[in-house]
Structure 1
Amino acid sequence: MKANCILHPQLAAALATLGHTDIVLVTDAGFPIPPGANRIDLGFYPGTVDVLEILRVLRSALFVEEVRFAPEVRDCHPALYRHLQQIYTGSGATFSCAGHDVLCQDLAYRAKVVIRSGSFDPWANFALVASTDPFAWFTEASGVKPLPAYVERRQRIRDNAVPALQ
Protein backbone atom coordinates (compact mmCIF):
# COMPACT_ATOMS: atom_id res chain seq x y z
CA MET A 1 0.00 0.00 0.00
CA LYS A 2 1.30 3.46 -0.92
CA ALA A 3 1.57 6.03 1.86
CA ASN A 4 0.23 9.59 1.70
CA CYS A 5 -1.34 9.29 -1.72
CA ILE A 6 -4.73 8.82 -3.29
CA LEU A 7 -5.76 5.22 -2.70
CA HIS A 8 -8.79 5.17 -5.01
CA PRO A 9 -7.33 3.49 -8.12
CA GLN A 10 -9.70 5.07 -10.66
CA LEU A 11 -9.15 8.56 -9.23
CA ALA A 12 -5.36 8.17 -9.06
CA ALA A 13 -5.31 6.96 -12.67
CA ALA A 14 -7.54 9.80 -13.88
CA LEU A 15 -5.40 12.46 -12.20
CA ALA A 16 -2.26 10.94 -13.74
CA THR A 17 -3.65 11.70 -17.21
CA LEU A 18 -4.11 15.44 -16.59
CA GLY A 19 -2.25 18.03 -18.57
CA HIS A 20 -2.16 21.80 -18.56
CA THR A 21 -5.69 23.32 -18.92
CA ASP A 22 -7.52 20.01 -18.38
CA ILE A 23 -10.58 20.37 -16.15
CA VAL A 24 -11.45 18.37 -13.05
CA LEU A 25 -15.02 19.00 -11.94
CA VAL A 26 -15.78 18.33 -8.28
CA THR A 27 -19.52 18.30 -7.66
CA ASP A 28 -22.16 18.00 -5.00
CA ALA A 29 -24.34 14.91 -4.80
CA GLY A 30 -27.08 16.27 -7.07
CA PHE A 31 -25.05 17.66 -9.97
CA PRO A 32 -26.28 16.47 -13.40
CA ILE A 33 -23.25 14.57 -14.70
CA PRO A 34 -23.32 14.18 -18.48
CA PRO A 35 -23.67 10.71 -20.00
CA GLY A 36 -20.31 9.34 -21.02
CA ALA A 37 -18.35 11.50 -18.58
CA ASN A 38 -15.32 10.01 -16.84
CA ARG A 39 -17.28 9.88 -13.58
CA ILE A 40 -15.66 8.98 -10.29
CA ASP A 41 -18.32 8.64 -7.65
CA LEU A 42 -17.06 9.16 -4.11
CA GLY A 43 -20.45 9.94 -2.58
CA PHE A 44 -22.04 7.03 -0.78
CA TYR A 45 -24.10 8.66 1.98
CA PRO A 46 -25.37 12.23 2.47
CA GLY A 47 -22.38 14.35 3.44
CA THR A 48 -19.84 11.61 2.86
CA VAL A 49 -17.39 12.10 1.18
CA ASP A 50 -17.67 15.89 1.52
CA VAL A 51 -16.67 18.15 -1.35
CA LEU A 52 -14.23 20.06 0.89
CA GLU A 53 -12.41 16.84 1.77
CA ILE A 54 -12.00 16.11 -1.92
CA LEU A 55 -10.75 19.62 -2.65
CA ARG A 56 -8.20 19.42 0.20
CA VAL A 57 -6.79 16.16 -1.12
CA LEU A 58 -6.73 17.43 -4.70
CA ARG A 59 -4.96 20.61 -3.54
CA SER A 60 -2.03 18.46 -2.43
CA ALA A 61 -2.18 16.15 -5.46
CA LEU A 62 -2.21 18.55 -8.42
CA PHE A 63 -1.35 22.03 -9.58
CA VAL A 64 -4.40 24.20 -10.20
CA GLU A 65 -4.23 27.57 -11.93
CA GLU A 66 -7.92 28.47 -11.72
CA VAL A 67 -10.95 27.46 -9.66
CA ARG A 68 -14.29 28.26 -11.31
CA PHE A 69 -17.57 28.26 -9.39
CA ALA A 70 -20.94 29.96 -9.14
CA PRO A 71 -20.86 33.48 -7.66
CA GLU A 72 -23.51 32.32 -5.17
CA VAL A 73 -20.73 30.56 -3.26
CA ARG A 74 -19.29 33.96 -2.34
CA ASP A 75 -22.58 35.86 -2.20
CA CYS A 76 -24.89 33.36 -0.47
CA HIS A 77 -22.68 30.76 1.24
CA PRO A 78 -19.85 32.64 3.00
CA ALA A 79 -18.71 29.65 5.07
CA LEU A 80 -18.12 27.54 1.95
CA TYR A 81 -16.33 30.48 0.31
CA ARG A 82 -14.01 30.93 3.31
CA HIS A 83 -13.18 27.20 3.31
CA LEU A 84 -12.41 27.38 -0.39
CA GLN A 85 -10.12 30.37 0.19
CA GLN A 86 -8.33 28.51 2.99
CA ILE A 87 -7.76 25.48 0.80
CA TYR A 88 -6.32 27.48 -2.11
CA THR A 89 -4.35 30.12 -0.17
CA GLY A 90 -0.76 30.00 -1.35
CA SER A 91 -1.53 27.75 -4.30
CA GLY A 92 -1.23 30.49 -6.90
CA ALA A 93 -4.71 29.64 -8.20
CA THR A 94 -7.19 32.33 -9.14
CA PHE A 95 -10.94 32.26 -8.61
CA SER A 96 -13.42 33.06 -11.36
CA CYS A 97 -17.19 32.91 -11.87
CA ALA A 98 -18.98 30.16 -13.72
CA GLY A 99 -22.74 30.25 -13.35
CA HIS A 100 -24.69 27.06 -12.80
CA ASP A 101 -25.65 26.93 -16.49
CA VAL A 102 -21.98 27.18 -17.53
CA LEU A 103 -20.99 24.47 -15.06
CA CYS A 104 -23.79 22.13 -16.21
CA GLN A 105 -23.90 22.83 -19.94
CA ASP A 106 -20.28 23.59 -20.78
CA LEU A 107 -17.66 22.70 -18.18
CA ALA A 108 -19.24 19.35 -17.26
CA TYR A 109 -18.94 18.24 -20.89
CA ARG A 110 -15.38 19.54 -21.22
CA ALA A 111 -14.13 18.04 -17.94
CA LYS A 112 -11.59 15.29 -18.26
CA VAL A 113 -12.85 13.86 -14.99
CA VAL A 114 -15.96 14.52 -12.88
CA ILE A 115 -15.73 13.66 -9.19
CA ARG A 116 -19.10 13.43 -7.44
CA SER A 117 -19.09 13.96 -3.69
CA GLY A 118 -21.79 13.09 -1.19
CA SER A 119 -22.11 16.76 -0.29
CA PHE A 120 -25.55 18.31 0.08
CA ASP A 121 -23.97 21.77 0.31
CA PRO A 122 -25.64 24.39 -1.94
CA TRP A 123 -23.49 25.52 -4.89
CA ALA A 124 -20.68 23.08 -4.02
CA ASN A 125 -19.56 22.54 -7.64
CA PHE A 126 -16.01 23.48 -8.60
CA ALA A 127 -14.14 23.32 -11.90
CA LEU A 128 -10.41 23.00 -11.30
CA VAL A 129 -8.24 23.98 -14.25
CA ALA A 130 -5.05 21.94 -14.10
CA SER A 131 -1.71 23.61 -14.43
CA THR A 132 1.97 22.87 -14.30
CA ASP A 133 4.49 23.66 -11.59
CA PRO A 134 5.33 27.33 -12.31
CA PHE A 135 8.79 26.93 -10.82
CA ALA A 136 9.83 23.70 -12.56
CA TRP A 137 9.09 24.71 -16.13
CA PHE A 138 11.04 27.95 -16.16
CA THR A 139 14.24 27.77 -14.14
CA GLU A 140 17.00 30.35 -14.06
CA ALA A 141 19.38 27.67 -15.32
CA SER A 142 17.29 27.16 -18.47
CA GLY A 143 17.72 30.76 -19.55
CA VAL A 144 14.12 30.76 -20.85
CA LYS A 145 12.06 33.76 -19.85
CA PRO A 146 8.75 32.70 -18.24
CA LEU A 147 5.47 34.03 -19.55
CA PRO A 148 3.80 36.75 -17.42
CA ALA A 149 1.12 34.32 -16.18
CA TYR A 150 3.83 32.09 -14.68
CA VAL A 151 5.57 35.07 -13.10
CA GLU A 152 2.25 36.16 -11.55
CA ARG A 153 1.46 32.66 -10.24
CA ARG A 154 4.93 32.36 -8.74
CA GLN A 155 4.44 35.67 -6.98
CA ARG A 156 1.03 34.64 -5.62
CA ILE A 157 2.62 31.47 -4.24
CA ARG A 158 5.54 33.38 -2.69
CA ASP A 159 3.12 35.91 -1.16
CA ASN A 160 0.86 33.12 0.17
CA ALA A 161 -1.95 35.05 -1.50
CA VAL A 162 -5.56 34.44 -0.55
CA PRO A 163 -7.59 34.02 -3.76
CA ALA A 164 -10.74 36.08 -4.16
CA LEU A 165 -13.55 36.02 -6.67
CA GLN A 166 -13.41 39.14 -8.82
Structure 2
Amino acid sequence: MYKSRLLNSKIIKILSIMGHTDQIAISDAGLPIPKNVERIDLALAFGVPSFIQVFESVSESIQIEKVILAEEILEHNPEIHKKILEQIRQVEKSQKNKIDITYITHEMLKIQTNECKAVIRTGECSPYANIILQSGVIF
Protein backbone atom coordinates (compact mmCIF):
# COMPACT_ATOMS: atom_id res chain seq x y z
CA MET A 1 0.00 0.00 0.00
CA TYR A 2 1.12 3.56 -0.78
CA LYS A 3 2.72 5.10 2.30
CA SER A 4 2.60 8.90 2.62
CA ARG A 5 0.57 11.60 4.33
CA LEU A 6 -0.88 12.68 0.98
CA LEU A 7 -3.94 10.65 -0.06
CA ASN A 8 -5.48 12.45 -3.05
CA SER A 9 -4.89 10.19 -6.05
CA LYS A 10 -5.04 12.99 -8.63
CA ILE A 11 -2.36 14.99 -6.82
CA ILE A 12 -0.20 11.88 -6.35
CA LYS A 13 -0.48 11.11 -10.08
CA ILE A 14 0.63 14.63 -11.09
CA LEU A 15 3.53 14.64 -8.62
CA SER A 16 4.68 11.24 -9.87
CA ILE A 17 5.00 12.44 -13.48
CA MET A 18 6.74 15.71 -12.67
CA GLY A 19 10.34 16.10 -13.76
CA HIS A 20 13.01 18.66 -13.01
CA THR A 21 11.68 22.24 -13.38
CA ASP A 22 8.06 21.13 -13.87
CA GLN A 23 5.60 23.22 -11.89
CA ILE A 24 2.38 22.74 -9.94
CA ALA A 25 0.27 25.47 -8.32
CA ILE A 26 -1.77 25.55 -5.14
CA SER A 27 -4.41 28.27 -5.21
CA ASP A 28 -7.01 30.01 -3.14
CA ALA A 29 -10.68 29.63 -4.10
CA GLY A 30 -10.63 32.61 -6.45
CA LEU A 31 -7.60 32.16 -8.70
CA PRO A 32 -8.62 31.75 -12.35
CA ILE A 33 -7.38 28.41 -13.67
CA PRO A 34 -6.45 28.23 -17.36
CA LYS A 35 -8.59 25.89 -19.47
CA ASN A 36 -5.52 24.00 -20.72
CA VAL A 37 -4.25 23.17 -17.20
CA GLU A 38 -5.58 20.31 -15.11
CA ARG A 39 -7.80 21.52 -12.25
CA ILE A 40 -7.72 19.50 -9.04
CA ASP A 41 -10.59 21.05 -7.10
CA LEU A 42 -10.42 20.34 -3.38
CA ALA A 43 -12.63 23.29 -2.35
CA LEU A 44 -15.50 22.13 -0.16
CA ALA A 45 -16.61 25.30 1.62
CA PHE A 46 -15.18 28.69 2.56
CA GLY A 47 -11.82 27.92 4.13
CA VAL A 48 -12.06 24.14 3.70
CA PRO A 49 -9.49 22.88 3.08
CA SER A 50 -7.19 25.75 3.89
CA PHE A 51 -4.33 26.77 1.64
CA ILE A 52 -1.82 25.97 4.39
CA GLN A 53 -3.20 22.46 4.97
CA VAL A 54 -2.84 21.62 1.29
CA PHE A 55 0.55 23.32 0.94
CA GLU A 56 1.94 21.41 3.92
CA SER A 57 0.77 18.05 2.56
CA VAL A 58 1.93 18.65 -1.00
CA SER A 59 5.27 20.22 -0.02
CA GLU A 60 6.17 17.12 1.99
CA SER A 61 5.59 14.95 -1.08
CA ILE A 62 7.62 16.78 -3.73
CA GLN A 63 11.26 17.77 -4.11
CA ILE A 64 11.09 21.56 -4.37
CA GLU A 65 13.84 23.75 -5.78
CA LYS A 66 11.87 26.97 -6.21
CA VAL A 67 8.62 28.59 -5.15
CA ILE A 68 6.89 31.50 -6.84
CA LEU A 69 4.64 33.85 -4.88
CA ALA A 70 2.74 37.01 -5.76
CA GLU A 71 4.56 40.01 -4.34
CA GLU A 72 1.18 41.36 -3.20
CA ILE A 73 1.07 38.67 -0.48
CA LEU A 74 3.68 40.64 1.48
CA GLU A 75 1.30 43.54 2.11
CA HIS A 76 -2.14 41.96 1.77
CA ASN A 77 -1.71 38.59 3.49
CA PRO A 78 1.33 38.66 5.80
CA GLU A 79 -0.03 35.87 8.03
CA ILE A 80 -0.25 33.33 5.20
CA HIS A 81 3.12 34.54 3.92
CA LYS A 82 4.66 33.87 7.34
CA LYS A 83 3.19 30.35 7.40
CA ILE A 84 4.49 29.67 3.88
CA LEU A 85 8.00 30.70 4.90
CA GLU A 86 7.82 28.51 8.03
CA GLN A 87 6.81 25.50 5.94
CA ILE A 88 9.54 26.21 3.38
CA ARG A 89 12.13 26.19 6.18
CA GLN A 90 10.79 22.80 7.37
CA VAL A 91 10.98 21.40 3.83
CA GLU A 92 14.52 22.74 3.39
CA LYS A 93 15.58 20.86 6.52
CA SER A 94 14.04 17.59 5.35
CA GLN A 95 15.30 17.95 1.76
CA LYS A 96 18.68 19.26 2.89
CA ASN A 97 18.71 21.93 0.22
CA LYS A 98 17.87 25.62 -0.10
CA ILE A 99 14.62 26.56 -1.86
CA ASP A 100 14.70 29.67 -4.03
CA ILE A 101 11.81 32.06 -3.32
CA THR A 102 10.77 34.32 -6.19
CA TYR A 103 8.19 37.10 -6.01
CA ILE A 104 6.36 38.28 -9.12
CA THR A 105 3.21 40.31 -9.64
CA HIS A 106 -0.10 38.56 -9.16
CA GLU A 107 -0.85 39.12 -12.84
CA MET A 108 2.41 37.39 -13.80
CA LEU A 109 1.63 34.51 -11.41
CA LYS A 110 -1.73 34.00 -13.13
CA ILE A 111 0.06 33.87 -16.50
CA GLN A 112 2.66 31.44 -15.11
CA THR A 113 -0.07 28.97 -14.13
CA ASN A 114 -0.39 28.25 -17.87
CA GLU A 115 2.93 26.38 -17.56
CA CYS A 116 1.84 24.27 -14.57
CA LYS A 117 1.03 20.57 -14.80
CA ALA A 118 -1.99 21.26 -12.58
CA VAL A 119 -3.56 23.81 -10.25
CA ILE A 120 -4.84 22.52 -6.93
CA ARG A 121 -7.77 24.71 -5.84
CA THR A 122 -8.35 25.00 -2.10
CA GLY A 123 -11.22 26.55 -0.17
CA GLU A 124 -8.96 29.38 1.02
CA CYS A 125 -10.72 32.75 0.99
CA SER A 126 -7.90 35.13 1.83
CA PRO A 127 -6.06 37.30 -0.72
CA TYR A 128 -3.04 36.15 -2.70
CA ALA A 129 -2.88 32.70 -1.07
CA ASN A 130 -1.35 31.13 -4.17
CA ILE A 131 1.97 29.43 -4.79
CA ILE A 132 3.76 27.73 -7.65
CA LEU A 133 6.11 24.90 -6.71
CA GLN A 134 8.94 24.04 -9.07
CA SER A 135 10.20 20.50 -8.92
CA GLY A 136 13.81 19.75 -8.16
CA VAL A 137 15.67 16.45 -8.38
CA ILE A 138 16.37 14.03 -5.55
CA PHE A 139 19.98 13.37 -6.54
> Could you tell me which of 123, 133, 139 is aligned with 1:128?
133
The match for 2:106 is: 100
Q: Which amino acid aligns with 1:117?
A: T
The alignment status of 1:52 with 2:57, answered yes or no, reads no
Work out the CA distance in 2 between the residues paired with 1:68 and 1:118. Answer: 20
**Where does the alignment leave 5 or more consecutive residues of structure 1 unmatched?**
138-166
Name the % identity.
26
**Where does the alignment leave 5 or more consecutive residues of structure 2 unmatched?**
93-97
**SS of the counterpart of 2:60?**
helix
- Following TM superposition, by how much is the alpha carbon of 1:100 offset from its aligned partner in structure 2, in angstroms? 1.2
- Following TM superposition, by how much is the alpha carbon of 1:3 offset from its aligned partner in structure 2, in angstroms? 4.2
Q: Which amino acid aligns with 2:99?
A: A
- How many positions carry a matched residue from both structures? 133
The alignment's TM-score, normalised by the length of structure 2, stands at: 0.89
> Could you tell me which of 97, 102, 117 is aligned with 1:112?
117
Asked if the contact 2:70–2:104 (Cα under 8 Å) also holds between the matched residues in 1, the reply is yes
The match for 2:27 is: 27
Asked if the contact 2:71–2:103 (Cα under 8 Å) also holds between the matched residues in 1, the reply is yes
Higher relative contact order (CA 8 A, sep 6+): 2
Work out the CA distance in 2 between the residues paired with 1:81 and 1:95. Answer: 12
**SS of the counterpart of 1:61?**
coil
Structure possessing the higher radius of gyration over alpha carbons: 1
Q: Which amino acid aligns with 1:60?
A: E
Q: Which amino acid aligns with 2:76?
A: C
Cα deviations by residue, 1:1-40 (Å, 9 ceiling, x for unpaired): 6443322111111111111100111111011101131111
C-alpha root-mean-square deviation of aligned residues, in Å?
A: 1.4
